[in-house]
Amino acid sequence: MSTYTSDTPDDRAAMLAAIGAKSIDDLFADIPAGVRLQRELDLPAGKAEFEVFDHLSELADKNIHSDREISFLGAGMYDHYVPALVDSIITRSEFLTPYTPYQPEVSQGGLQVMFEYQTAIAELTGLDVSNASVYEGPSAMAAAGYLAQLENGRGRFVVSQAVNPQYRETLKTNAHGYGTQVVEVPATDGLTDPAALAETIDADTAAVFIQNPNFFGAIEDVQALVDAAKAHDALVVCVADPLTLGVLAPPGDFGVDICVGEGQTLGNRLDFGGPSFGFFAATKKLIRRMPGRIAGETTDVDGRRGWVLTLQTREQHIRREKATSNICTSQALNALAGVIYLSWLGRQGIVELGELMLKRTAYAREALGAVDGVEILFDAPVFREFAIKLDAPVRAVLDQLALDGINGGYPIGLDYPEYENTMLVAITEKRSKEQIDLFAKSLASAVAASKTGVGAEA
């Protein structure tokens, strides 16, 4: 085969002749003329490789990432420390490049990773079984809804408004496809009211969705919420952050049927929004309706320990009408990062990390609450995140904080219009006492400046 290093008419003619085409148009003969562009692409002239690299570097430098600012942004994705060990393992070619392990006899390493990951998630959530991960947290909750509808055939979902808004929107989108009604229960003072929840649940409720800690960072009375759902035999789906489960009681202890959530906090960086992975754990009763894949442990003909894909519920593997998932290649590499991180932390480390975040969050809550023009929005106990109300336009305050190299948090009013000029502040183990003190000082200046009209508009 010849190698062409230039692009002259003779070169193009030779290449076309080599593939049996008379002209460039022959390559597009199957595309209807009406949808063809019929002109050259409006692109600038080509550049040398180093020029392209410099241009892309300039564009990339316009982004501000969490290593270049002090970030108190949370609302579902968090700036946790990721040890170097994670990258050193997940970038090995045997983990970085493999596809779905269809042949267990040659995929033992990948299958063992799935099995160890599933074991860790099942232990954290207190539930019987975990799948080998899904795409991300919101789609995990949507999949839980579909499972519930298949399980009991009922036509309603009841969802607390204290559940992350992105999770709720994803559930609504999916539920619309199979005709299930989604009813939301308002949050009161940052918490789900068990009485209001109980009044909304009826005999046609397939599942009740809660979150702990909830979107506002508050710790819910999970048992009361579960009891309200179980009174009507509805399934209970709890959204959780696995990193909080070293300190908080696991959802399975309260009788939760399904626990889902975002795994980004386990060894996955923010990376401008992804990728990460979602987790999905459930009781053994629901195992055959779970989405995705489950790796199982077995022994070979010689009695040696081995692993296989025990359950695959997507349409590629079973009859389409019986499929419960269309998940193809899941986020296995990101889930591997999660299990490496958990192994690095260990049983005691995850407890100590949780206790550290509790202490620093309590300190930050007190420090920010003492700032003139700042009020703690809710009194409920929190884990890593809490809401504050500002006596100034929140957008202007955030812009002022950015000038000091601080990402102050998430404007709650984007999703909850009733909470104008409020924001959600997240405290991870990376936020030191000195950084929290700097935040409080900068926040005081930003609120004062914004109140007097200095700075950006809200």
Q: Are 130 and 225 in the same domain?
A: yes
Q: In what order do the strands lie in the sheet with 410-411?
A: 374-376, 385-390, 422-426, 410-411
Span 46-60, mean pLDDT? 94
Q: Round to whole Å and give the CA distance between 90 and 215.
A: 31
Residue 431 C-alpha from the chain's centroid? 21
For 6-15, 206-215, 281-290, which range has the lowest pLDDT when averaged over its residues? 6-15
Give the structural domain span for 386. Answer: 70-80+347-451
The residue among 452 and 332 whose pLDDT is bigger is: 332
Going 74 to 382 to 412 to 167, the CA torsion angle's sign is positive
Residue 251 scores a pLDDT above 80: yes
What is the Cα Rg of the chain in Å? 26
Question: Is 90 a domain residue?
Answer: yes
The CATH number assigned to the domain holding 354 equals 3.90.1150.10
Give pLDDT, residue 4: 42
Residues 5-33 pLDDT 10s: 456 778 888 999 999 998 888 888 899 98
Q: How many CB atoms lie within 10 A of CB 93?
A: 7
Share the mean pLDDT of the chain: 92
User: Among the three residues 295, 314, 342, which one is the final residue of a domain in this structure?
Assistant: 342
Span 38-66, mean pLDDT? 91
Q: With 0-12 CB in 10 A as exposed, 13-18 as middle and 19+ as buried, what is 328?
A: exposed
Give pLDDT, residue 329: 61
371 Cβ neighbours under 8 A, 6+ residues apart: 440, 443, 444, 447
Question: Is 387 a domain residue?
Answer: yes
380 Cβ neighbours under 8 A, 6+ residues apart: 189, 190, 191, 216, 218, 219
Question: Is 31 a domain residue?
Answer: no
108-125 and 332-369 helices, crossing angle to 10°: 30
User: Among the three residues 302, 318, 342, which one is the final residue of a domain in this structure?
Assistant: 342
Question: Is 39 a domain residue?
Answer: no
Q: Are 184 and 289 in the same domain?
A: yes
Question: Is 423 a domain residue?
Answer: yes
Give pLDDT, residue 458: 38
The count of residues in the chain is 458
The single residue listed with the structure tokens 């309603």 is 156
Residue whose C-alpha is closest to residue 446's, from 395, 410, 411: 395
The CATH number assigned to the domain holding 122 equals 3.40.640.10
H-state helical runs in 218-324: 222-230
Q: 218 with 162: CB under 8 angstroms?
A: yes
User: Among the three residues 316, 342, 368, which one is the final residue of a domain in this structure?
Assistant: 342
Q: Round to whole Å and give the CA distance between 170 and 175.
A: 9
Domains of the chain: total: 2
Q: Are 115 and 203 in the same domain?
A: yes
Give pLDDT, residue 154: 97
Q: Are 260 and 290 in the same domain?
A: yes
Q: Are 324 and 352 in the same domain?
A: no
